[in-house]
């Protein structure tokens, strides 16, 4: 299976991989004796500029691997280099900085901060990066403009539709201009129409801004649009193949 | 993450839960408010007392015989009966003597500026031709003038020859002279008949003193009673009183160390009474009495402050509780912030700021409420309110401390949340 994985890696090995996971195991401990191994020796390499979809049935471990890639969670065993940095050895403070600068998260449930305007939400990562207020505001407006939410900057999350919330969340993920965007079922809570808008936005960021994107989805059609499709089953990558391609953007 | 952003955030979340925040602050408001109110009233009280004590004579030490109270071996019912039927009179041999006083002067020397002795002759009338005036006559020694700040405007005060010769001379108030002789008449050398009880004597005026407007003019009904002074020896002979004193006044020369001098004076005279079964000597001054009262007020203030501290403690726990609730409610928010790159310290700072803001707002409301209540209370007691700036500053500082202290644990809890657990939180 490992050989098969290597074969499916796209032939663009210039520079170093953005994500380099080797023999990663994740075990949860539920109750004292019941250790539950969720991921069994995952090998995964993602090169800069790739658009990867992860599919697989519910409970197969997609979110678990995504959280580890996003430096939110630590692997139980195995190695993980993110942009050349060994996540295993990083301190909590370094992990915070990595999440802030290297990664942009987009959640299924948006996770916008309530009672805070769209603009302030987009400013959050910049706030933690220590960007001064004026530059934060300018950058946030620019990003909201880009996702087509320029006229909703002052709106609070409860005044936005689901699709609008997700666009604000994508703008927020882009705030510090991270190389890697991670989206865990970003269209899971949206209808087909809005899913399309959000997906187009990801393609735009991929093509125009060169973002590396890893996307979890249950929608086979959306997965097909990605460059590479990984299938996870019971904590193992059982197949990797090229996607059919995306023709929406010129 | 700037502090200003945190403060803005804290106010926003406070505003979002106005009622809850207010209820949480209640303990702080009541605590700080009562401290400020009590301090304002107390300070107004002591301030007013101290102001009114700026006058003269406050440092005069009154040395007087007092009954011993610790009579353990005495018949208890007898002791009680003494209390009920008023204070008993000291016997002649119990009185303080001239020898004691001269020993005292010899021992303390320059430290004693004056020992003022007096004996009351009593109330009576002064008559000249058809005029009759009420007077209260007192026999005094020379130091009496110093101790009581008697300001002679005409003639002289009594002198040693008056005392030695038991002369029938007197010093009278200017108002008395005017009332007796009429305006513009020089009273020095004039005489009048002084009647006290059955005794009548012809008294010669040697000096006139200025009577203070609101001074010690005692009122008998609507009639003024003029205080006039005769030589002590003259009065003693007239009354046939024993050769001793129940009380007298000492003026110290070094007013800086007056309380120490007061204690030494008391110890000196009390030493004569160690064997006396029922009497001893105590010394006091208005000053020392005032400081006793002031101390009492401070003690009361302290006691109430302690109660207020309990209220603050309860308030602080309330703040901690609401912070814990708030953090639980906002677990997903905390997870999101961490996913966006918030380091632990930023989360901690955010929630400590929030708790400090709650406490500070509560503190400020408490201070305003306390000031209003304190001013109202002071005015009710008839004093000018004196808000203590120190108390206000301390209150502000203290509410911040409460915020930090009781906010630290919840904030640390939030900071330590695992990002995954926080994001998964339902
Ligand atoms: N904190 C945890 N403790 C114990 N088991 C966990 C924990 N988190 C996840 N799991 C288990 O790990 C497995 C994988 O979960 P994961 O969330 O990665 O699935 P998923 O592929 O994202 O599923 P879905 O498509 O439904 O989101 C599940 O069986 C889940 O029960
Ligand atoms: Mg999932």
Within this chain, do residues B385 and B297 fall inside the same structural domain, yes or no?
A: yes
What confidence score (pLDDT) does residue B56 get?
A: 59
Number of domains in chain B: 2
Rounded to whole angstroms, the Cα distance separating B371 from B41 reads: 9
- The confidence score (pLDDT) of residue B305 equals 81
A28 in ligand 1 pocket by Cβ < 6 Å?
A: yes
Q: Is the ipTM beyond the 0.85 threshold?
A: yes
Chain A contact residues (CB < 8 Å to B): 67, 70, 72-73, 92-93, 96-101, 105, 107, 111, 113-116, 124-125, 127-130, 133, 172, 176
* Cβ distance of A111 and B332 shorter than 8 Å: yes
Is B396 an interface residue toward A (CB < 8 Å)?
A: no
pLDDT band (50, 70, 90) for residue A9 = very low
Is A63 touching ligand 1 by the criterion CB < 6 Å?
A: yes
Instruction: Provide the domain limits for residue B47.
Output: 3-53+291-424
Chain B closest-CA separation from residue A114 CA (Å): 8
pLDDT at B275: 84
* Min Cα separation A199/chain B (Å): 21
| B340 → closest Cβ in A67, A73, A124 | A124
- Residue A14: the pLDDT is 64
In this prediction, residue B75 carries a pLDDT of 46
Closest CA to B139 of B116, B156, B155: B116
Ligand minimally distant from the alpha carbon of residue A61: 1
Q: How far is the CA of A200 from the centre of ligand 1 (A)?
A: 28
Which atom belonging to ligand 1 lies closest to the Cα atom of A232?
Answer: 21
Domain boundary among B217, B252, B285: B285
Distance from the Cα of B26 to chain A's closest Cα (Å) equals 25
Q: How many CB atoms lie within 10 A of CB A20?
A: 18
Domain boundary residue among B235, B253, B285?
B285
Q: What is the pLDDT of residues B228-243, one digit of tens each?
A: 999 999 988 888 877 7
Ion ligand 2 neighbours (CB, 5 A) are: A 63
Check pLDDT > 80 for residue A248. no
Nearest to A100 among B12, B340, B423 (CB): B340
Question: What phi-psi label fits residue A210: left (phi over 0), alpha (psi between -120 and 50 degrees) or beta?
Answer: left
Same domain, B114 and B244: yes
A58 lines ligand 1 (CB under 6 A): yes
To the nearest whole Å, the CA of B336 is away from the closest chain A CA by 6
Domain boundary among B260, B285, B310: B285
Same domain, B318 and B346: yes
| CB of A72 closer than 6 angstroms to any ligand 1 atom | no
Pocket test for ligand 1, best of A31, A42, A64 (most atoms within 8 A of CB): A64
Q: CB distance B344–A70 less than 8 Å?
A: no
Q: Is B343 on the interface with A (CB under 8 A)?
A: yes
Enter the pTM of the model.
0.72
The response to whether residue A30 sits with its C-beta less than 6 Å from ligand 1 reads yes
Q: Which of residues 1-40 of B touch A (CB under 8 A)?
A: 1-2, 5, 12-13, 16
- The chain B residue lying nearest A132, using CA atoms, is B2
> How near does any CA of chain B get to the CA of A250, in Å?
32
- Residue A81: which H helix or E strand, with range? strand A77-82
Q: Do B2 and A127 touch (CB under 8 A)?
A: yes
Tell me if chain A has a CB within 8 Å of the CB of B337. Answer: yes
Ligand 2 centroid, distance to A58 Cα (angstroms): 7
Nearest alpha carbon to residue A60 among A244, A219, A222, A218 = A218
Q: Give dist(CA A168, CA A152) in Å, integer.
A: 9
Q: What is the pLDDT of residue A13?
A: 56
Q: What is the pLDDT of residue B277?
A: 84
Q: Which 8-state DSSP code applies to residue B60?
A: P
A148-157: average pLDDT = 94
- Asked whether residue A7 carries a pLDDT value surpassing 50, the answer given is no
Cα–Cα distance, B334 to B43 (Å, whole number): 47
Asked if A44 contacts A78 with a C-beta cutoff of 8 angstroms, the reply is no
Task: Note whether B281 and B295 are same-domain residues.
Answer: no
Are B145 and B246 members of one domain?
A: yes
Supply the residue whose CA is at minimum distance from atom 28 of ligand 1. A59
Q: Which residue has the higher pLDDT, A234 or B309?
A: A234
One domain, residues B40 and B107: no
Q: What is the pLDDT of residue A143?
A: 96
Give me the pLDDT at residue A107, please. 95
Let me know whether B224 and B136 are in one domain.
Answer: yes
Same domain, B381 and B341: yes
Same domain, B15 and B78: no
Confidence class for position A207, pLDDT limits 50, 70, 90 = very high
For ligand 2, the distance from its centroid to the CA atom of residue B421, given in whole angstroms, is 14
Distance A61 CA to ligand 1 centre (A): 6
Task: Clarify whether residues B221 and B297 are in a common domain.
Answer: no
The reported pLDDT for the residue numbered B77 is 45
Residue among A93, A107, A113 minimizing CB distance to B343: A93
Burial letters B164-196, b for 16+ CB under 10 A, else e: eebbbbbbbbbbbbebbbeeeeebeeeebebbb
Biggest CA–CA distance in chain A, Å, is: 56
B116 and B88 together in one domain: yes
One domain, residues B221 and B281: yes
DSSP reduced 3-state for B72:
coil
DSSP B222-258: TEEEEEEEEEHHHHHHHHT--S-BSEEEEEES-GGGH
Instruction: With a cut of 70, list the residues of chain B below it in pLDDT.
Output: 1, 53-56, 70-87, 213-223
Per-residue pLDDT of B333-391, as tens digits, reads 999 999 999 999 999 999 999 999 999 999 999 999 999 999 998 888 887 888 888 88
């Amino acid at each position: 299976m490992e050989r098969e994985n290597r074969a499916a890696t796209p032939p663009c090995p210039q520079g170093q991989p953005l994500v380099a996971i080797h023999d990663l195991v994740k075990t949860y401990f539920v109750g004292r004796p019941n250790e539950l191994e969720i991921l069994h020796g995952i090998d995964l390499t993602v090169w800069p500029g790739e658009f990867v979809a992860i599919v697989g049935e519910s409970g197969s471990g997609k979110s678990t691997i995504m959280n580890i890639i996003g430096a939110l969670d630590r692997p139980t065993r195995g190695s993980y280099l993110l942009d050349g940095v060994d996540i295993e050895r990083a301190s909590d403070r370094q992990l915070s900085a990595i999440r802030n600068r290297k990664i942009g998260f987009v959640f299924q449930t948006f996770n916008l901060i309530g009672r805070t305007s769209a603009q302030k939400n987009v400013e959050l990562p910049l706030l933690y990066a220590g960007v001064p207020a004026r530059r934060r505001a300018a950058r946030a407006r620019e990003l909201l403009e880009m996702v087509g939410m320029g006229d909703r900057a002052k709106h609070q999350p409860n005044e936005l539709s689901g699709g609008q919330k997700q666009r604000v969340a994508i703008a927020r993920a882009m705030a510090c201009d991270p190389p890697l965007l991670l989206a865990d079922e970003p269209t899971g809570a949206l209808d087909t129409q809005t899913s399309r808008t959000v997906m187009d936005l990801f393609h735009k960021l991929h093509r125009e801004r060169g973002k590396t994107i890893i996307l979890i989805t249950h929608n086979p059609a959306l997965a097909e649009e990605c460059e590479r499709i990984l299938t996870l089953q019971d904590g193992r990558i059982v197949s990797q193949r090229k996607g059919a391609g995306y023709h929406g953007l010129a | 993450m700037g502090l200003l952003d945190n403060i803005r955030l804290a106010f926003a979340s406070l505003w979002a839960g106005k009622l809850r925040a207010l209820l949480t602050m209640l303990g702080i408001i009541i605590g700080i408010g009562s401290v400020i109110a009590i301090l304002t009233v107390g300070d107004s009280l002591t301030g007013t007392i101290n102001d009114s004590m700026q006058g003269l004579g406050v440092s005069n030490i009154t040395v007087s015989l007092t009954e011993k109270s610790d009579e353990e071996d005495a018949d208890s019912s007898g002791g009680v009966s003494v209390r009920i039927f008023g204070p008993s009179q000291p016997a002649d041999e119990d009185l303080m003597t001239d020898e004691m006083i001269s020993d005292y002067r010899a021992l303390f020397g320059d430290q004693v500026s004056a020992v003022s002795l007096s004996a009351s002759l009593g109330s009576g009338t002064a008559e000249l031709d058809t005029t009759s005036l009420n007077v209260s006559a007192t026999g005094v020694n020379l130091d009496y003038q110093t101790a009581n700040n008697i300001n002679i405007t005409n003639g002289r005060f009594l002198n040693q020859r008056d005392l030695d010769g038991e002369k029938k001379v007197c010093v009278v108030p200017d108002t008395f002279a005017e009332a007796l002789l009429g305006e513009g008449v020089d009273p020095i050398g004039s005489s009048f008949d002084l009647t006290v009880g059955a005794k009548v004597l012809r008294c010669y005026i040697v000096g006139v003193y200025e009577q203070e407007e609101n001074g010690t003019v005692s009122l008998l009904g609507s009639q003024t009673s003029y205080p006039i002074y005769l030589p002590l020896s003259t009065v003693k002979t007239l009354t046939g009183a024993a050769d001793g004193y129940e009380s007298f006044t000492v003026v110290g020369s070094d007013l800086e160390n007056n309380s120490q001098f007061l204690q030494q004076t008391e110890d000196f005279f009390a030493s004569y009474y160690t064997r006396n079964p029922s009497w001893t000597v105590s010394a006091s001054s208005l000053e020392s009495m005032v400081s006793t009262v002031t101390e009492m007020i401070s003690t009361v203030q302290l006691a109430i402050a302690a109660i207020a501290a309990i209220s603050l403690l309860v308030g602080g726990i309330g703040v901690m509780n609401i912070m814990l609730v708030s953090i639980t409610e906002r677990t997903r928010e905390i997870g999101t912030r961490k996913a966006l790159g918030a380091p632990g310290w930023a989360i901690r700072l955010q929630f400590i700021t929030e708790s400090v803001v709650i406490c500070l707002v509560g503190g400020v409301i408490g201070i305003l409420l306390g000031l209003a209540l304190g001013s109202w209370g002071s005015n009710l007691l008839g004093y000018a309110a004196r808000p203590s700036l120190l108390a206000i500053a301390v209150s502000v500082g203290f509410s911040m401390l409460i915020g930090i202290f009781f906010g630290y644990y919840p904030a640390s809890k939030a900071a330590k949340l695992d990002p995954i657990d926080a994001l998964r939180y339902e």
